[in-house]
Structures are given as C-alpha cells and as structure tokens.
Structure 1
Amino acid sequence: MAKDVEVAEPAGTFSAKDYQDPPPAPLIDAEELIQWSFYRAVIAEFIATLLFLYITVLTVIGYKSQTDSDIPGVDPCNGVGILGIAWAFGGMIFILVYCTAGISGGHINPAVTFGLFLARKVSLVRALLYMVAQCLGAICGVGLVKAFQKAYYNKYGGGANELQDGFNKGTGLGAEIIGTFVLVYTVFSATDPKRSARDSHVPVLAPLPIGFAVFMVHLATIPITGTGINPARSFGAAVIYNKEKAWDDQWIFWVGPFIGAAIAAFYHQYILRAGAIKALGSFRSNA
C-alpha cells in the first residue's frame, strides 16, 4: 500500500499528508434530530430504496412472465435473462447513489449503513433511522409493483429472495456474506479520501464501481439465493409477498449481509488503512 504523500515546505520541513480523513462520527448525536438536513437525508434514503425495489422487482417479474413455459408459444429465450436482471440491480444502484450521495451518502442498503456505522462514518441515530427508512421504502416499492400488476406479482413469486433448490442454508449464508463483503468493500474503497488523493490522476466516479459490484455479485449469486446483499430489499419483498418460503429463509438475508459488512469494515479500516497498528502507536508513515 502506498505511503501517505507528504509535501516539502520551503524551510526543509514536511507538511501534513495531502488528504484529510473526516473526523469519526459521534456514537449518539442528538443535535442531528433538530436539523432539517438530517430528515432530508432520511427521506432521500426512503425514496431511493422505494425506486430501487420498484424497478428491480418489476424487472424480475417481467423476465419470469416472458419465459413462462406454461404459456403456449412463449420462447424460453425471451426476456432479459439473468444478465439483464443483474444489470437492472447494478444500474439502479449506480443511478440512485449518483443522485443521493450528496444528500444522504447514497446507502440504499442497511448492510452498507451498518458497515459505515462500524467504521464511525455515521452516528448510531443516523444509522438506525436510515435502516428504518430503507425498509419502509422497500416495502412501499414492492407494494407499488403489486398494486399495478397484482396477477403477475402473485404468479411469479413477487421478486422475493429464497434459497434455491439444491443449495443448503450454509451455502446461501456464505454467498450472502461474500457478496455483501464485495459490495461494502467497494463502497469503502470508492469513497476513501486517501485513494482520491493518491489516484487523483485517475478520476473515478464513486457510484460506478459500486454499481458494478452489485452487478457482478448478482451474476454470481442469483442462482443460489436470488441475491439479497441488501436486507431491506429482501425484507420488503417478503412483507408484501408474505409466503412461507420467503420467511423461512429471511434470516439468511439479514445475518449474511451484516456479517459481510462487518468484515469489510474491519478489513478496510484496520488492515488496509492500518487503523489497528496506528492505534497502538507502533507505526507511522514516513516520507
């Protein structure tokens, strides 16, 4: 990992590193509760998650209806396929993170919020209200799909995440842990101020790698769990669909993403950014 870049002063001394890490967020910041910007961010998370679920669940149901072998004359090769579904999820994350990053940070996922909370990027109050807003947004987004296309929604599974036939719960849990690790690790890397300073000659639009991470994870895990990596997405679909199978496997789509997010936060903050070593006072980056 590259050393922190330091710039020589005219007097022969060295200035501080050429990037600034934001200060750690307080555990509980009561002042947030009286600021309009805080509630604006919560509303942004609600609307973004609503739009995310509306578009992606419609895509899933549309694909299933276009390839339904029970309908005479339907070509099983019709529809967008798994590749198209993965693009829908990744593309919507790219769009929505781009739109909301300057307002709420563009989390749109309780696992992302949890990882950023563990890294002291957001306060406990903000993290909890974001998660509530995300889950409510997901429920409303899927509810709109059902309201507009109830017959198709009920017939084709409501876009609910379920462990697919042939895979055990351990495999499903592992897929959710690793998939969420990839996503949250990408979030940390794409928004790292040190990376931005070190690689300023290679401009990177942060929502782009985040959207691609979601796309790639969906390609790998749709055949296993339908791809959760977002507890709000799985919860919202389960609430509206409300069938036994969706609830039987629901714990996988909470435990897996939260474990994956925690591992990603630890890896980035304490291994790549050497937080544990610096905390012990045994290491300093030298010029």
Structure 2
Amino acid sequence: MEGKEEDVRLGANRFSERQPIGTAAQSQDKDYKEPPPAPLFEPGELKSWSFYRAGIAEFMATFLFLYITLLTVMGVKNSNSQCSTVGIQGIAWAFGGMIFALVYCTAGISGGHINPAVTFGLFLARKLSLTRAVFYMVMQCLGAICGAGVVKGFKKGLYDSQGGGANVVNPGYTKGDGLGAEIVGTFVLVYTVFSATDAKRNARDSHVPLLAPLPIGFAVFLVHLATIPITGTGINPARSLGAAIIYNKHHAWSDHWIFWVGPFIGAALAATYHQIVIRAIPFKSRP
C-alpha cells in the first residue's frame, strides 16, 4: 500500500483537474475547487515509477501514432494502393482517429499528450512541472522517430519516392502562409484540449471527462482537412521531426523550423487565452 500511495502522490495526475465521474460524482460535493499549480521543478518525480511509466506511455502512443498515420499517407500517395482512393479525407481520419484512440488509452497514465505542443501549452498553464514536460517531449520525439523508421522499413523505395510523409510548405504557399497555418491549427487543437479537460466543466457535468478524447480527435481531423494542402499539417513537432529524420533529405529540412515555431506559438496563445478568458468565467454548478 505504501508504494501505491507514493505512486499516486507523485503520479501523472497529481495536478490533474479531473473530478469524480459517474456515480462517484453524484455522491460528492460538486463545488469547484481550484487545483494547485504544478511546481517548476519536482525532483521527487525522478524517484517515482509513475514518472517513467508516463514517459513510456508517451513514447508508445507517439510511436503508434506515426506508424498508423504515415502508413496511411504512403497508401494514399501510392497510386497502386486501394488506400489511394480515400484521399485527404482518409489521411485526416487516420490522424484524428488515432489521436482519439490514443488519448483515450493513455489519459489516465500520462495525460495523453502525444504532442510536444500540447505538453508545452499545459506546462505554461502550470498543469505539469518542467521536469515532466521535458521528459515527455523527449519520449514523444523518440517514439515518433521509431514509428517513422518502422514505416520506412516496410517499403523503403515508396517511402523515399513519396517524401516520407515529411511536412513542408507546399508550392503556391509562402513560408508565412505555412507558419500561420501551423499557429492557427495548433491553437485549435490546444484550445480544444483545455476546454475538453477543464475542471469547471468536469465539476458541473460529470460526463465530460469520458468524452474528452472525442473533441480532441475531431479537432485534429478538422485541422488536417484544412491545412494538408498548405503544409501537410504538422501541429505536432514530434510528428514532423520523426518524419524528417527518417526521410533525411534537404527537402524535409528546408521548412522544418516552421513546424516547431508555429505549434509552440499556437500552444502558447491557446494557453494564454484559456487562462485569461475562459478561466475568468464564474463557476456555477448544476443543481
């Protein structure tokens, strides 16, 4: 029992905004209580198994995310594949659907970030420590590299000839267009993450935590529909880095900075907007 108590005390959900759900919520006071902000540094986390378990979950989730989505991209670009008939919609569904599934699977372990931009936004909002944020980002990038590497291993010729799913600003658009698309797209995603996991809504509507992965995945789907023609849609620096490293050609690196700067700016704007505007709304519980 002592080990379990320590695991919970230092676990990924120590600073979670989640409230009891279902019948548990009905038997408890629904008044909203502001959770304490996460400390900048939390040395005790480094001694907790839950810290490393959360990092492993982020690695595995990002690995699976890149594996499924890049395979879909390769299938769409391969004119001899039946997957080519699904087009941009199929790619968007692959990205959105995998986020939905993976957030659902890992939310209780690591928070289900699967994206350095999401981690950065939550860090700015003091939902996790700098120690955990950096660890998550490293594991996400490693997972993305491994996932892209497995895809290339299946069919190296097709992977190299079709650009490896690397994000670039497409012809007809400027670098400014690409940067703007990444900023706005990431803002939509991170804003949805904040809204779907907001403690005030969880306290008022006990079903909200159960539905959180759905709007997050749907936001990813919609952003991909809008921005695939512009940048191929990054909004996830780990996804862009993994594809660029495995493809490893100059074409993949020429615009790569956009897929870090854009998502981080978008995440920062979403975190700021949520903290200043949304959190200022008075809480009123339902009877």
Q: With the length of structure 2 as denominator, give the TM-score of the two structures.
A: 0.85
CA distance in 1: counterparts of 2:175 and 2:152, whole angstroms: 28
Find the counterpart in structure 2 of residue 271 from structure 1. 277
Alignment of 1:59-208 (within 5 A): 59-66=72-79, 78-200=84-206, 205-208=211-214
CA distance in 2: counterparts of 1:156 and 1:286, whole angstroms: 53
Selected match of 2:60 from 30, 42, 47: 47
Partner secondary structure for residue 35 of structure 2: coil
Find the counterpart in structure 1 of residue 7 from structure 2. none
In the TM superposition, what is the alpha-carbon distance from 1:200 to its structure 2 partner?
3.8
Provide runs of 4+ in structure 1 moved above 6 Å.
284-287
Find the counterpart in structure 2 of residue 231 from structure 1. 237
Matched to 1:51, the amino acid is L
Bigger Rg, structure 1 or 2: 1
Selected match of 1:222 from 215, 228, 242: 228
In the TM superposition, what is the alpha-carbon distance from 1:237 to its structure 2 partner?
0.3
Post-superposition Cα deviations, 1:258-286, rounded to whole Å, max 9, x if no partner, equal: 000000000001111129xxxxxxxx879
Find the counterpart in structure 1 of residue 37 from structure 2. 24
Question: Greater helix percent: which structure?
Answer: 2
Deviates more, 1:217-226 or 1:203-212: 203-212
Partner secondary structure for residue 150 of structure 2: helix
Distance 1:273 1:94, change over 3 A: same
CA distance in 2: counterparts of 1:126 and 1:119, whole angstroms: 14
Any stretches of 5+ residues in structure 2 without a counterpart? 1-28
Deviates more, 1:146-155 or 1:173-182: 146-155
Distance 1:19 1:253, change over 3 A: same
Post-superposition Cα deviations, 1:91-138, rounded to whole Å, max 9, x if no partner, equal: 000000000000000000000000000000010000000000000000
Matched to 2:243, the amino acid is A
In the TM superposition, what is the alpha-carbon distance from 1:66 to its structure 2 partner?
2.6
In the TM superposition, what is the alpha-carbon distance from 1:196 to its structure 2 partner?
1.7
Contact 1:62 1:79 in 2 (8 A): no
In the TM superposition, what is the alpha-carbon distance from 1:230 to its structure 2 partner?
0.1
Q: With the length of structure 1 as denominator, give the TM-score of the two structures.
A: 0.85
Give yes or no for the alignment of 1:35 onto 2:48: yes
Distance 1:202 1:183, change over 3 A: closer
Post-superposition Cα deviations, 1:181-206, rounded to whole Å, max 9, x if no partner, equal: 00000000000010122334777510
Partner secondary structure for residue 108 of structure 2: coil
Q: Aligned residue pairs: how many?
A: 257
Distance 1:201 1:120, change over 3 A: closer
- Give the percent of matched residue pairs that are identical in Structure 1 and Structure 2: 74
